[in-house]
Amino acid sequence: MKPIITITSDFGYKDPYLAAVKGVLYSELTEPILVDISHNIAPFDIAQAAYIIHNSYQHYPENSIHLICIDTEIRPDNPPLIVRMNNHFFVCPDNGVLSLVSPHVKADQITQIDHQTLGNNSFSSLTVFARAAAHLARGGAPNVIGKNKETIKKLSPFTPTISADKRVIQGKVIYVDNYENVITNIPKKLFDEIGQERPYEVEARSNRFTKILDSYGKIIRHDIDKKHRSEDGKPLALFNAAGLLELAIYRSNPLVTGGASSLFGLGYLDVVTIRFE
């Protein structure tokens, strides 16, 4: 099976950048398998890209190639890399994004790409990163186009704080999705460890939740006849598929009625607190 090449970028769809990168891959490879993860990353937002990649790349076959085009300007402090990690290849700048993608996974191999051999210009995503991904897809070894590197740049992920008496977990919003669901950095594992099944309250600005669900549908009272119950528009807290605390409004259309982010007044890095009795 041909290796899959995924592409994540902050290019958007208005400009020619994404089409140009794909053009290089189609020119260098015969019928490549290209998958768009997201191109709506906020410009230069490494943390947002890391969240999306972390929650998507592991679902692809081993030896997939993940092309990350965020902050790709090649500088002495931001060289282009090929990193083999968790049986996947990542082609990305050394800007710390991979340290946020998998903070607890050690890289098996790090190669700094010799960008001069691949042709460097102001659009390095095209001339260096795409061609490096094509090289890997042809079965080429990373060290053919670069040299070994010992470490990658590390950024500290946002982690929740815990009060000394273990009665309070304070987290932050780390992502707002297309439905305006608000995702925090509070994992269920930490909630269970600190909470010990005590009663609790989730606080997010003026919003309060006393129950955290394990699915969106659990907000519905299925013991009540459907014609007598209200389903859409209910606020809820749940642990999502990534195991993180999420605040949402059930089946709300953000373009019509607004979602949790706008209606709760919550955005990136805003505080969400859990208080235990």
- Domain for residue 41, yes or no? yes
Q: Which of 56-65, 98-107, 226-235 has the highest mean pLDDT?
A: 56-65
- Domain for residue 255, yes or no? yes
Residues 175, 127, single domain; the answer is no
Residues 56, 165, single domain; the answer is no
Find the farthest-apart pair of alpha carbons in the chain and give their distance in angstroms, rounded.
68
Residue-wise pLDDT tens digits, 67-96: 999 999 888 999 999 999 999 999 999 999
Residues 142, 28, single domain; the answer is yes
pTM: 0.87
Write down the pLDDT at residue 120.
60
pLDDT at 263 over 90: yes
pLDDT at 123 over 90: no
Write down the pLDDT at residue 227.
57
Average pLDDT over residues 127-145: 95
Contact 212, 202 (CB under 8 A): yes
Q: Which of 148, 181, 207 is the last residue of a domain?
A: 148
Strand 271-276 and strand 200-204: the pairing is: antiparallel
Q: Which of 53-57, 198-202, 251-255 has the lowest average pLDDT?
A: 251-255
Write down the pLDDT at residue 115.
83
Residues 75, 189, single domain; the answer is no
Residues 134, 166, single domain; the answer is no
Residues 87, 222, single domain; the answer is no
Q: Which of 153-162, 175-184, 193-202 has the lowest average pLDDT?
A: 153-162
Degrees to nearest 5, angle at CA 262 with 259 and 267:
115
What token pair was written down for 107? 């890289």
Residues 92, 165, single domain; the answer is no
CA distance 83 to 88: 8
- Domain for residue 154, yes or no? no
pLDDT at 222 over 70: no
Q: Where are the alpha helices (DSSP H) in 147-268?
A: 188-195, 260-264
Instruction: Return the CATH number at 140.
Output: 3.40.50.10790
Domain that holds residue 46: 4-148
Interacting residues of 112 by C-beta distance below 8 A, sequence separation 6+: 79, 80, 81, 94, 146, 147, 148, 149
Average pLDDT over residues 191-213: 96
Residue-wise pLDDT tens digits, 14-35: 999 999 999 999 999 999 999 9
Look-up: residue for tokens 């209606």?
263
Residues 9, 105, single domain; the answer is yes
- Domain for residue 155, yes or no? no
- Domain for residue 259, yes or no? yes
Instruction: Return the CATH number at 230.
Output: 2.40.30.90
pLDDT at 232 over 90: no
- Domain for residue 16, yes or no? yes
Average pLDDT, the chain: 91
State the total domains in the chain: 2
pLDDT at 271 over 70: yes
Average pLDDT over residues 201-212: 96
